[in-house]
Amino acid sequence: MNIIVAVDENWAIGNKGDLLVRIPADHKMFRQETLGKVVVLGRKTLATFPGGLPLKGRTNIVLTRDPGFAAKDAVVVHGLEELQEELKKYRSEDVYVIGGSSVYEQLLPLCDTAHVTKIDYAFEADAYFPDLDADPGWEITADSDEQYYFDLTYHFLKYERKK
C-alpha cells in the first residue's frame, strides 16, 4: 500500500484544517499518481475538498468513527478491520492513503511505499506526519531534482520500507 503526503522540513502537513501551501506541481503529481486508483482518507480531509465531494476518477474510501456518516460517491468504513476487509477488493499497489494526520498514523504501519513532497521551509502547523528520516525502517529510494515554486524549494521523494 502507498501513502502520499506533502510535508515541510519539520514533517508538518497542515494548520487549522488546511494544507500548509498549495504547489501546483505537487497537485499535478498527486493527480497523476492517484488517478484511476483507490484513495483512503478521513472524514475531515474529505470535508476540505471542493464541495466536500470525493475526488473524481478514483475510488474514495472514507475512514471515520462516526457511525452516521455517509458520503455520496464514496465507500465509508468505520474502523481498521472494516477498511482492511474493503481493501481486499483492490491490488495493494493501487491503494493510496491521502490523510489526514490520524489516518496517516493508523495506516503507515500497513504501507510499504511513501511518496513525499518535502518542502524546504518550516510553516506554522498543528498537524504532522511521522518523520520517516528518523525511522530506521524506511529509506529514500528516489529523489527528484530540486523543484521551485516562487521562493520555496522542494523535492519529490520516494521512501520504501526496508525489507
Given a cut of 90, is residue 163 above it in pLDDT? no
C-alpha cell at position 126: 498543528
The terminus-to-terminus CA distance of the chain in angstroms comes to 14
Nearest-5° Cα angle at 94, 89 to 12: 120
C-alpha cell at 143: 529523489
| pLDDT tens for each residue of 35-88 | 999 999 999 999 999 999 999 999 999 999 999 999 999 999 999 999 999 999
Query: What pLDDT was estimated at residue 100?
Result: 95
pLDDT of amino acid 111: 97
Among all chains, which residue has been given the C-alpha cell 511518496?
115
For the stretch 129-148, pLDDT in tens is: 999 999 999 999 999 999 99
CATH of domain 2-161: 3.40.430.10
Give the Cα separation of 4 and 2 in Å (integer).
Answer: 7
Question: Binning pLDDT at 50, 70 and 90, where does residue 158 land?
Answer: very high
User: Residue ranges per domain, the chain?
Assistant: 2-161
CA distance 12 to 49: 19
The three-state secondary structure class of 41 is: strand
* Per-residue model confidence as pLDDT tens digits over 20-35: 999 999 999 999 999 9
Tell me whether the omega of the peptide bond preceding residue 100 falls within 30 degrees of 0, making it cis: yes
Note the pLDDT of residue 39.
98
Pairing of strands 59-63, 38-42: parallel
pLDDT at 132: 98
Amino acid at 138: W
Q: Which residue has the higher pLDDT, 86 or 18?
A: 86
Burial degree of 28 (CB within 10 A; 0-12, 13-18, 19+): exposed
DSSP-assigned states of every residue in 42-75: EHHHHHHSGGGPPPTTSEEEEE-S-TT---TTSE
Closest of 51, 44, 88 to residue 65, by C-alpha: 44
99: cell is: 490523510
